[in-house]
Copies of this chain bind each other. A is one copy, B any other.
Amino acid sequence: NGGESKQESEPGNVLSGFQLSAVLSDSAREKNIFIHGKLADQEAVVILEKTPIREECLAEIFSGSRLTLEMKNDIYSTYRLQAPLHLNEIKTTVVCPATEKHVKKYLRQESFLVEETFEDYQSITLPYIQEQSFSVQWVYNILEKKAEAERIVFEDPDPDVGFVLLPDFKWDQKQVEDLYLIALVNKRGISCLRDLTSDHLEMLQNIFHKGKEAILQRYNLPASKLRIYLHYQPSYYHLHVHFTKLGYDAPGCGVERAHLLADVIQNLQSDPEYYKTRTLYFPLRADNGLLGKFKEAGRL
């Protein structure tokens, strides 16, 4: 709209007959979009992703583009730039015929930020967690050395303040750039942040200090390169702490879900009941049962 009304499609453009059913997901940051639809009566998934900007093309982009000024303030100005076609392509992937599994794989679930008072926790979240009785048997298997024993990076066997440190599944351990380790506490029955009081300070400080020390010894990475945090809500309800490399954009390290262990310790030091009085915020995906419970309770 506003451009030339060239309606006939380019020759050999198989996508000109594409019938869009739904956008499965997209990323404004990564400049991609995942689309479900039909190509000649067959189910198809089409992925478009803009290409990275390459240094060797810059001279031609600067000399051969059309610039339109959008905004100017002091030393700052912004433009819309139209680059030569061959320097600004879109990588296109077509899966056709696509199965339902392909469609689901690319379907993004929207997230909503939930505001949870401690009363909400007691009346909505806790009953939901108990009702679901999510299994943490796999955690117990690790703690009991029935599984993954060979993956353990460090262990403090103390039953009250000890923990097991091991690589997260997401980390292939090939490079420290995306280092991701998990500390699982030995003590059972502490499900999440909401359960923590000053009684747990010794355990938390133990994980903070010995975890950092173990990572320095094993991976030669000092504390100043680590992001150490808990999730709320966690993805499983046995207390655990995440250690990821600073600078690695690990999934779940955003302020809406992560709580720095150092802050948790300070908060409990100044108020033993900090996590039993505060309103906590966290994102839940649209298909998460807990979100439904918050909606039923009129809390969203």
Contact = CB atoms under 8 A, between A and B. Distances in A.
Contacts of A83: 90
Nearest to A108: B247
A84 B4 CA distance: 10
7 contacts: A3-B87, A26-B53, A32-B53, A50-B88, A80-B90, A227-B256, A255-B255
Contacts of A93: 76-79
A255 B259 contact: yes
A81 interface: yes
A246 interface: yes
A254 B33 CA distance: 24
Interface residues of A, number: 114
Contacts of A300: 224
Contacts of A147: 73-74
Interface stretch (A58-66, A120-128, A181-189, A191-199): A58-66
A229 to B, nearest CB: 6
B74 A137 contact: yes
Given A29-B249, A83-B90, 18 more contacts: A6-B64, A15-B67, A50-B88, A53-B90, A73-B148, A76-B94, A77-B94, A80-B90, A81-B92, A82-B89, A82-B90, A88-B88, A112-B224, A113-B226, A114-B224, A249-B254, A263-B281, A270-B277
Copies assembled = 2
Interface of A is mostly: mixed
Contacts of A142: 73
A16 to B, nearest CB: 5
Interface string A226-253: 1101000000000000000011111001
Given A81-B48, A141-B73, A65 B227 contact: no
A44 B163 CA distance: 48
A31 B50 contact: yes
A110 interface: yes
Interface string A256-290: 10111011001000110000011101010000000
B48 A75 contact: no
A43 B79 CA distance: 18
